[in-house]
Amino acid sequence: SNMLYLRVRIGDIGDDLYAIFINDMSEQRRFEAVRRDFVTNVSHELKTPAGAISLLAETVTDAADDPDAVRYFSGRISKESARLTELVRRLIDLQKAQSSEGSVIDVKRISALAVARAAINDNQVQADARYIDIRLNVNGKPVPISAGEGDDEPSETELMIMADADAMQTAVKNLVENAIHYSPEHTTVAVGVGERDGKVTIRVVDQGIGIPEKSLDRVFERFYRVDPARSRETGGSGLGLAITKHCVQENGGRISVWSRKGEGSTFTIELPAAPADEEPTAVQGA
Ligand code: ADP
Judge if the beta carbon of residue 182 lies within 6 A of ligand 1. Answer: yes
**Whole-number pLDDT of residue 175:** 97
What would the mean pLDDT of 85-98 be, rounded to a whole number?
Answer: 79
Judge if the beta carbon of residue 265 lies within 6 A of ligand 1. Answer: yes
> ipTM exceeding 0.90?
yes
Q: Is the pLDDT of residue 160 over 90?
A: yes
Backbone angles phi, psi at 216, to 5 degrees: -55, -45
pTM of the model as a whole: 0.74
Q: How far apart are the CA of 70 and the centre of ligand 1, in A?
A: 33
**Whole-number pLDDT of residue 237:** 76
Task: Return the residue whose CA atom lies nearest to atom 20 of ligand 1.
Answer: 178
- Give the number of the atom of ligand 1 that is nearest the alpha carbon of residue 210: 25
Q: How far apart are the CA of 21 and the centre of ligand 1, in A?
A: 40
Q: Is the pLDDT of residue 135 over 60?
A: yes
Q: How far apart are the CA of 182 and the centre of ligand 1, in A?
A: 7
Question: Among 227, 231, 232, which residue has the most ligand 1 atoms within 8 Å of its CB, making it the best to mutate?
Answer: 231
Task: Return the residue whose CA atom lies nearest to atom 19 of ligand 1.
Answer: 178
Q: How far apart are the CA of 192 and the centre of ligand 1, in A?
A: 20
What would the mean pLDDT of 258-273 be, rounded to a whole number?
Answer: 95
Question: Among 178, 207, 237, 261, which residue has the most ligand 1 atoms within 8 Å of its CB, making it the best to mutate?
Answer: 178
What percent of the chain stands above pLDDT 70?
76
- Give the number of the atom of ligand 1 that is nearest the alpha carbon of residue 224: 10
Q: How far apart are CA 49 and CA 5, in angstroms?
A: 45
Judge if the beta carbon of residue 225 lies within 6 A of ligand 1. Answer: yes
Task: Return the residue whose CA atom lies nearest to atom 12 of ligand 1.
Answer: 219
Judge if the beta carbon of residue 231 lies within 6 A of ligand 1. Answer: yes
**Whole-number pLDDT of residue 22:** 47
**Whole-number pLDDT of residue 11:** 38
Judge if the beta carbon of residue 243 lies within 6 A of ligand 1. Answer: no
Q: How far apart are the CA of 219 and the centre of ligand 1, in A?
A: 7
Q: Is the pLDDT of residue 26 over 70?
A: no
